[in-house]
Amino acid sequence: MTRYTALPINTTTLKELRVADDARRPCVPYIATSDDAGSPLRCCLRPIRLGERIAPVSYAPLRRWAATMGARPGAYDEQGPVFIHADDCGGFTPGESYPLDRPGALRTVRRYDARGHIAGGRLLEVPTDATAGFDAAFDDAFSDPDVVLVHVRALEYGCFHFEVRRPSAEEQ
């Protein structure tokens, strides 16, 4: 069982992205091909399946978090490409393991403080026991009392995968 909650893109944001993305470009859905299959979806945090209706969108996860928290990330604000389902898919249901946890995959675990500034990070090669590996990486990140948010990203492209927020006192 995971000790932290992986957070996908929330439903309100998904509705907005399905109209126009964070770069203000219109959403352009298409049917997934074999070239897309296996790439991660950020709405339900699972791999794309051949034949699904998907859309690549530009997404600014830190900017959206900062807007809800009153933070000012300044130059640390960034946006990049992610895939989402073009239509509502029901979202992500947390489970026994972290999403997109293929052993051997390389992930960056990037830490942010309450201002939305990068507060460090580390490389994680997903181990065979992926849940224990992610738990240890998040334990390490949140051992710094200034860290409030962690982004998990693909090393190869820097793409955002999911976020984890500091657990509340009740959750610890």
CA angle in degrees (0–180, nearest 5) for 89-111-15: 25
d(C-alpha 165, C-alpha 87), whole Å = 26
Beta pairing class for 53-59 and 80-85: antiparallel
The per-type count for the chain, helices as H runs and strands as E runs, is: 3, 7
Q: Note the pLDDT of residue 94.
A: 86
pTM, full prediction = 0.92
The tokens describing 3, both together, are 């000790």
CB neighbours (10 Å) of residue 26? Answer: 10
Note the pLDDT tens digit of each residue in 65-123.
Answer: 999 999 999 999 999 999 999 999 999 988 888 998 999 999 999 999 999 999 999 99
